Amino acid sequence: MQLTPFKLERYFARYEFNVKYLLCSSDCESLSVGDLLGFEPGAEEGLKRHWLGYTESSGASSLRVEISRIYTSIQPEQVLVHSGAEEAIFLFMHAVLQPGDHVIVHWPCYQSLFEIARSIGCEVTLWEARLENKWVLDLDELKRNLRSNTRAIIVNTPHNPTGYLMPQDEYTALNALAHERGFLLFSDEVYRELEYDPAERLPSACDINPGAVSLGVMSKAYGLAGLRIGWVATHNASVFARMAALKDYTTICSSAPSEFLSELALRHRERISGRNLHIIHDNLSLLDAFFSARAERFEWVRPKAGPIAFPRLVGEVIEQFCHQLVTSSGVLLLPGTIYDHPGNHFRLGFARKNMPQALALLEQFLDTRATKGSMSI
């Protein structure tokens, strides 16, 4: 296995804890342990009493009950808890893929969604979402790319980094195609529950496709990345068993306090994701005004779900722009080159309470440069 460095994680490792304003985070505003314990009387005492031995390797049974409530057809025994979504991606790929298998991956994407398949020796075809199509995926293109050795299709909707949400009929057709053509669908649903119009929420793949694997996590819609709890939900017993067997070689089981706190948070998941959606809606209205006033500098496809979008910068090289911004204003954007995307885009995150201050600094940065530019002419 030859894994190349995870560019996005390396970029965050360099900046995340050194800059004042993260204007590109993909997780929502977080909570403190105290905030979370305040949701239920007795929770603080419960945490103090919570046993710190090993937990069940598939996840504490009461946590799996709570996770299964997210889905319409999944039983607690069909949920496998992991240390973050990242561990689940790693184990899924190692459980099902062999060198020489063909894998099709929705792209641009979170790097591990294609990198791990590549490192195993799979042939990877990128299923490209294009700006000129407003990031819409073309199902016919997917069909043309299917081969006799296509083992898995990886999709992520709501999407990192574009905020694209597949229409329901396309998503249903994709799941039906997987069933018909016998490939596995790995559906990264970590941004689910952050649809701006709740009527557009997609069913989870595991609820409509018996072979599919759905990925969920505490980090994104609930903003609780520090718990490092993720999971897969699936009716596919053979994939489940292979992933569970591999987990004995990575983390064995999850952190007991994190499981306790995740279960507590999930009992209040609508309250938490609702608060985060509220922050997103407020911030998006500021962004709408920002982009409409600067249409000559940015191409903006308004996202349909999630905490991030992928605007295009016009007239300047994105890497230099991001570097100058973070150096002079302490505001971090993520250049699209981190996704190996050549289109001069950047990832913008807007699910943090301090986004208005970060946006004001970005505006100031743009205005100062515009003044300097006009003075030097």
Ligand X SMILES: Cc1ncc(COP(=O)(O)O)c(C=O)c1O
Binding site for ligand X (CB under 6 A): 26, 84-86, 110, 156, 160, 188, 190, 217, 219, 225, 230
Nearest-Å Rg of the Cα atoms of the chain is 21
Name every residue whose Cβ is closer than 8 Å to that of residue 93 and which is 6 or more positions away in sequence.
116, 117, 120
- Report the residue number, 155 or 325, with the smaller CB distance to ligand X: 155
The DSSP string of 136-162 is ---HHHHHHH--TTEEEEEEESSPTTT
- Indicate the residue type of 76: P
CB of 109 to ligand X, least distance (A): 7
- Report the residue number, 157 or 344, with the smaller CB distance to ligand X: 157
Q: How distant, in Å, are the alpha carbons of 91, 212, 226, 269, 348 from that of 83?
A: 11, 20, 10, 19, 26
- Report the residue number, 233 or 361, with the smaller CB distance to ligand X: 233
CB of 45 to ligand X, least distance (A): 29
- Residue of closest CB approach to ligand X: 84
- Report the residue number, 217 or 351, with the smaller CB distance to ligand X: 217
DSSP state of 78: G
- Report the residue number, 92 or 300, with the smaller CB distance to ligand X: 92
| Residue 345: strand pairing partners | 312
CB of 187 to ligand X, least distance (A): 11
CB of 158 to ligand X, least distance (A): 9
Q: Which residues of 127-138 are buried (b: 16+ CB within 10 A; e: fewer)?
A: bebeeeeebebe
CB of 236 to ligand X, least distance (A): 19
